[in-house]
Amino acid sequence: MQSIRSIFLVTAAIVIAGATLVFAASIGLALAGIASVVMLGSWISAKLQPTPVRAKVYARTGQPGQREPRVWNDGRGTIIDL
C-alpha cells in the first residue's frame, strides 16, 4: 500500500512539473511574440515619419547691412528667421 501511494505521488509530481513547464514555455512564447509585434510597429512608425526639410540660403537682395527674413517649414511648423 505504501508503494502504490509513493508511485501515485511521484506520478502526480511529474505531471504537475510538466504542466508548469508547458505553462512557462507558453508564457515565454507569448511575451516574445508581443515584444516582436511592438518592435515591428516601432520600426514601421519610424519609417513613416516625414524627413525634415533643410533650409536653403539664397543670395541676399536689398540694402547692405539689412537681412531679408528667411521663412521655411521643417515639417513640424513654420520657422521665421529674422
Distance in angstroms (rounded) separating the CA atoms of residues 70 and 54? 12
Which residue in the block uniquely carries the three cell numbers 511529474? Answer: 14
**Cα–Cα distance measured from residue 56 to residue 67, given in angstroms and rounded to the nearest whole number:** 15
Q: In the structure grid, which three cell numbers stand for residue 45, read together?
A: 512608425
The answer on pLDDT for 62 being more than 80 is no
What are the structural domain ranges in the chain? 2-81
Lowest mean pLDDT among 36-40, 57-61, 74-78: 57-61
Are the C-beta atoms of residues 53 and 72 closer than 8 Å to each other?
yes
* Residue whose C-alpha cell is 512564447: 29
- The pLDDT confidence band at residue 76, using thresholds 50, 70 and 90, is confident
